[in-house]
Amino acid sequence: MEESKNSRKEGVKNWLKNPYNVAFLIIMLLSILFRAYYFDLTKEQPLWWDESEYMAGAKGFAGIVDFALPSLRSPGFSLLASAFYMIGMNEVMLRFLLAFVPSIIVLFLTYFCIREMYPDRRIALISLIILSLLWEHLFYSNRFHTENLSLIFQLLATFVLFKGYLKKKDIYFIKHRYSIAWIVLFSLIAVFFRPGNIIFIPAILLFMLILYSSSKYSGKKTATLAGSLIALFLIVYIYISSLPREGLLVYLSSEPISFNSIIVFKGFYESFVPLIPSLWYYAFIIGFLAALFTIISQKEKLKELKDNENHLELKSDIFNILLIVSVLAFFIFIMRVKAIEYRWFFPFLIAMLAITSKGITTFSTYAGSFINKKSINVLIIIIVGLGFYTQLVHVDSLIKSKVDSYSQVKDSGLWIKQNSNKEDSIVSASKPQHIYYSERKVYNFWELAGDTESNEAVFDQNLEKTRPRYLIISAFENIPAWGYDYSQTHAGMTPVKVYFADAEEKQAILVIYEIDYNNFGKVLNNSS
């Protein structure tokens, strides 16, 4: 026992002798401190629509509220959250376990994945620094979203792909001969948490197809493999096409092909600081071109990729470009989006980070050849530091400006919970938020109005039929034009709580009306 303890101590000492390992620990510690600071700012921030659907779904699975998760949402996140609700955890605890902790795990796995990809350890360290304060990732790391949980398992699949499958090394209990099975399992779990992240899987399949096509297998076996992959894609396509419109088919668009998604890289790295350009964006372009050059200049080595344990950088460049192309192709040719949300592109995050970091090291090495080699690391520090500062300025402003957004919706839901009975119900256009906060039955305003018809008479009839106690009118979600004047055109509507957009309380933004059904239905005559 004592020998084992001493052996572990000696192993730790030797590990710490490596300056790259020390640098990793320092960067991780600082990253955790940064994120802890923003977690403290946002731990009680109001939930937005997507968040509230997942969390209301969690309360639904836990038996706290009556809410069915929309079919577009995968149940993975909500089921996990419901388990914590069942043991009595509150929202802050859940935000720590389901948002903060996963974001830290993503940082950790990103570093070790990229370290397995590229022999140059600087690429992994720079990638970690970039991700530690990348504005979109940090912003959503303290919200109840599915991206980070899905990313964890995507990164695990990638880690096994490189260390287990390519390098044929065992990873604790994961034996390298079973790498394919683990890659499939981790990929499926990633999709279970976030179905949209299925777009990283084609990159893995194509990468493995390239490896097999470069192996010593016969042409017949390669053709069989290719045919099997094509058959798999066809089966998946047929299955998705058979789903109802509100399922995965919702991603298929009939709009014209849109190349707007290409701007996503500039958006991730855009500088909002005067006089400081988007250095990381230019680094990404350099890295992408460098990766392409590596592939083209070493095309002869493509014939021996599978059976040669070398050429690691070439393999990594191929994989990362495939990952970027796979994700972009989905949004350009299938979803055809004109307006983008940057978090949708998280499936290619590891590739973007690695290529950006490669761009920084490539440029610094090239520039250093004209100056002196000692200046290379200084140049790297300058580029990384300036990019880091631009990200910090942007994300700090963004998080602090949004920390109280939708606070009136949250407060109104909590007020109703305190001032109503469990059998009472509500009408609101902010249905998932008010279900989550009030823990009461909520009717969607549009549903009572006949959805697309937006018929006021239909709304009147359904209101009398369902008899909710409260009607909430707010500026946070769109409702029919007549809805904003509903309290003036109908009797029996008493405002019981008003929330304002300004400190002077001159601009009402949300009003809770209590409905008196003894007088309801008597239309007021405002013509006199």
> CATH code for 407-515?
3.40.190
Residue 528's pLDDT is 38
- Among residues 358, 334, 382, the alpha carbon closest in space to that of 127 is found at 358
Of 494, 466, 474, 468, whose CA–CA distance to 411 is shortest?
Answer: 474
Instruction: Decide if 280 contacts 288 (C-beta within 8 A).
Output: no
Give the per-residue pLDDT at 311.
81
User: Residue-wise pLDDT tens for the chain (528 aa)?
Assistant: 566 666 777 778 888 888 999 999 999 999 999 999 999 999 999 999 999 999 999 999 999 999 988 877 888 999 999 999 999 999 999 999 999 999 999 999 999 999 999 999 999 999 999 999 999 999 999 999 999 999 999 999 999 999 998 888 999 889 988 888 899 889 889 988 998 888 898 899 888 888 877 665 545 555 555 555 555 455 445 544 544 444 455 566 667 788 889 999 999 999 999 889 999 999 999 999 999 988 888 777 766 665 555 688 899 999 999 999 999 999 988 888 888 899 999 999 999 999 999 999 998 888 777 777 667 888 888 999 999 999 999 999 999 999 999 999 999 999 999 999 999 999 999 999 999 999 999 999 999 988 766 688 899 999 999 999 999 999 999 999 899 999 999 999 999 999 999 988 899 999 999 999 988 876 755 543
Q: In the chain, where are the structural domains located?
A: 2-42+90-402, 407-515
Q: Can you read off the two tokens belonging to residue 69?
A: 């998760």
120 in Cβ contact with 377 (< 8 Å): no
Distance CA 354, CA 362 (A): 12
Strands 508-515 and 425-428: unpaired
Report the pLDDT value the prediction gives residue 61, as an integer from 0 to 100: 96
Residue that has been written with the tokens 């990594």 in this structure: 316
Q: Are 369 and 135 in contact (CB under 8 A)?
A: no
Give the integer Cα–Cα distance in Å for 241 and 223. 27
**Alpha helices, H only, 173-245:** 179-193, 201-213, 219-242
End-to-end CA distance of the chain: 94
Sign of CA dihedral 189, 190, 195, 201: negative
Distances 82 to 1, 75, 99, 451, 473 between C-alpha atoms, Å: 41, 10, 15, 30, 30
pTM comes to 0.90
Residues near 143 by Cβ (< 8 Å), separated by ≥ 6?
A: 42, 45, 47, 48, 51, 99
Angle of CA points 290, 291, 296, to nearest 5°? 95
Helix axes 121-133, 375-402, angle to 10 degrees: 20
Residue entry with tokens 């902790």? 101
